[in-house]
Amino acid sequence: MANEYTIQQASKMTQVSAHTLRYYEREGLLNVARTSSGHRRYTDDDIGWIRFIMLLKSTNMPLAEIAQFVTLEKDGHRTIEKRRTMLEDHRETLTAHIAQLQNYMKALDEKIVYYSEVNDVLLDCVTNTPESNGVASCDDNYLP
């Protein structure tokens, strides 16, 4: 239960490259124990924390903010309230972001419908001889 992993093993377990793991440590997102010779040894807690970092990252939290979270963590349980608040704020941001994406999705759908319709019109143009039809849309290049 007190497992330790090299950077390569940690990399495999978390799908984060060793390069990036070192980078995260330099940026203060991670604080990994070392052997006497200076090699990193990741614990299960570290692995869990890296997975959490990936979760925050995937939901658009910037590294700097994640680093701030870590700073709070170093100050122990006095900061738990603050950290929960950070997570809740982040949750709000994410909710808003998802809602906005769903709106964009609607707009995108409308564009797609529009393209389908224009395509139908143009198929008509092709079916008839080019000269035999003077519909403006057959010559239009622009599609908003």
Partner DNA sequence: CCTTGACTTAGAGTCAACTCAAAGTTTTAG
Partner DNA sequence: CTAAAACTTTGAGTTGACTCTAAGTCAAGG
Binding of DNA by 79 (CB under 7 A) = no
By CB under 7 A, the residues from 21 to 40 that bind DNA are 22-23, 26, 34-40
Binding mask 66-105 for a copy of itself (x = CB under 8 A): -------xx-xx--xx-xx--xx-xx--xx-xx-xxx-xx
Query: Is the separation of the CB atoms in 50 and 14 below 8 Å?
Result: yes
Residue 129: name its binding partner from a copy of itself, DNA, none (Cβ under 5 to 8 Å by kind): none
Structure tokens at 132: 């035999």
Q: Using CA atoms, how far apart are residues 92 and 97, in angstroms rounded to an integer?
A: 8
Helix (H, G, I), strand (E, B) or coil at 13: helix
Q: How far apart, in Å, are the Cα atoms of 82 and each of 7, 24, 27, 74, 111?
A: 31, 22, 21, 13, 43
Least distance from DNA to the Cβ atom of residue 27, Å: 8
Least distance from a copy of itself to the Cβ atom of residue 83, Å: 6
| Contacts to DNA by CB under 7 A | 6-9, 17-20, 22-23, 26, 34-40, 57, 62-64
